[in-house]
Amino acid sequence: MKRILITCMFLLAMQSTFSQTKDYVDQFIERLERSKDYLLLVADMMPEEDYHYRTTADSNSFAEHLMHIGWAMDWHSQTLMGERPARDWETDTLLKVDNKTKEEMISTMSDAFDNTIRFLKEFDESRLGERLDYFGADRTKLQIMMLLADHITHHRGQMLVLLRLKGIKPPRYVLYQ
C-alpha cells in the first residue's frame, strides 16, 4: 500500500511539472504573438526612405535591426531548439535586408514570427530541460526561449530609438510582450 501511495504521489508531481512546462510554452507563444503585432507596428511607422538610417557608421540600420530579429528567431528556435542546421549567413538571404523593400521585410518578419510560433506549438515540452552550449554558456532549451524574448526586446528597443531620432513618436508600449 505504501508503494502504491508513493507511486501515485510521484505521478501527480510529474503531471504537475508537465502542466507547468506546457503552460509556460503556451504563455510564451501568446507573448510572441503580441510581440509580433507590436514589432510590425513599429516597422510600419518608419518611412521606407529611412529604413537604412543608422546613428553611426558601425551601428545597425533600422532595417538591419528588424531583419536581425527574424534571423535570431529562426536560429534560436529551428537550430538551437530544433537542431536544424543553421542558415549560411554568406549565402542565405531570406532573413537579411538584401534588396528587400519595406513591405517585403515586414512580410518576411511576419512569416518569421509565424514559423517560430508554429515550431513552438509542435515542440515537445519534455525537451525544454535539454542542455546545450550557447556561446560558451551551458543553457537549457527553456533558457534559449527566454534569451530569444530578450533578444527581440533589445533590437526592438534600438528600433524605437531610431524612430525617435527621426522625429517619429513610437506606438504606445503594449503590455505582456
The verdict on residue 81 lying in a domain is yes
Determine whether the annotation assigns residue 52 to a binding site: no
The verdict on residue 15 lying in a domain is no
Taken in order 27, 65, 138, 124, is the CA torsion positive or negative?
A: positive
**What pLDDT is stored for residue 156 in this prediction?**
97
- Span 12-51, pLDDT tens digits: 554 544 445 678 999 999 999 999 999 999 999 999 999 9
The verdict on residue 22 lying in a domain is no
Cα separation, 147 vs 152, in Å, equals: 9
**What pLDDT is stored for residue 7 in this prediction?**
57
User: Could you identify the residue written with the cell 531548439?
Assistant: 81
Grid cell of 33 as nine digits: 504573438
More confident residue, 167 or 7: 167
- Domain total in the chain: 1
Determine whether the annotation assigns residue 155 to a binding site: yes
Cα separation, 135 vs 47, in Å, equals: 36
The verdict on residue 87 lying in a domain is yes
**What pLDDT is stored for residue 173 in this prediction?**
86
Determine whether the annotation assigns residue 154 to a binding site: no
**What pLDDT is stored for residue 17 in this prediction?**
47
Which domain does 41 fall in, by range?
33-165
Question: Which CA distances in Å does 31 have to 28, 71, 134, 177?
Answer: 5, 18, 23, 5
- Span 106-118, pLDDT tens digits: 999 999 999 999 9
Q: What is the DSSP string of the chain?
A: -HHHHHHHHHHHHHHHHHHHHHHHHHHHHHHHHHHHHHHHHHHHHS-GGGTT--SSTTSPPHHHHHHHHHHHHHIIIIIIIT-PPPP-TTT--TTS-TT--HHHHHHHHHHHHHHHHHHHHHS-GGGTT-EEEETTEEEEHHHHHHHHHHHHHHHHHHHHHHHHHTT-PPPPP-S--
The verdict on residue 85 lying in a domain is yes
Full-model pTM: 0.85
Whichever domain contains 71, its CATH number is 1.20.120.450
The verdict on residue 174 lying in a domain is no
The verdict on residue 7 lying in a domain is no
